[in-house]
Amino acid sequence: MILITDLIARVAQLADEGDIDDYLDLFTADAVWEMTGDLAVPAQTRTGRLEIAEGVRQRRAGGVQGPGSATRHIVSGTSVVPDGDHATAMSYWRFYTSTTSTPHLVGMGTYQDQLRRTDTTWRMSHRRITIG
């Protein structure tokens, strides 16, 4: 299960500071990324790495996340239920801005993740992000 919790942490880290290709490599080719929406990011569902990449580029272009945005995704309280080559996980998240000065908590909620073991490692196959 440590590989799964590491995967969840790595997704958060690469959203804040990483290379988009490295971020995408953490997802299966057919992954689904969905968010219920908030003031900074509208509700959306993205299917496949190409659509997920477009969402990442839009959020970075808008200064919502990514290198230079002074944001941090903090993940905690992760619980994992393994089932062979699949697993489900639920985590709490908090999102901070202005992390280079006085950090501001601007959102929190849950990640509901489905994960799949591939030939080489675990990857995220479905992430559902809810606010609150």
Q: What is the pLDDT of residues 47-65, one digit of tens each?
A: 999 999 999 999 999 988 9
CA atoms of 90 and 127, how far apart (whole Å): 10
CA atoms of 129 and 7, how far apart (whole Å): 16
**Closest alpha carbon to 131 in 113, 109, 105, 106:** 109
Q: Where are the domains of the chain?
A: 2-131
> Is pLDDT above 90 for 90?
yes
> Is pLDDT above 80 for 88?
yes
Q: What is the pLDDT of residues 11-44, one digit of tens each?
A: 999 999 999 999 999 999 999 999 987 766 788 9
CATH code, residues 2-131: 3.10.450.50
Determine contact, residues 11/124, Cβ cutoff 8 Å. Answer: yes
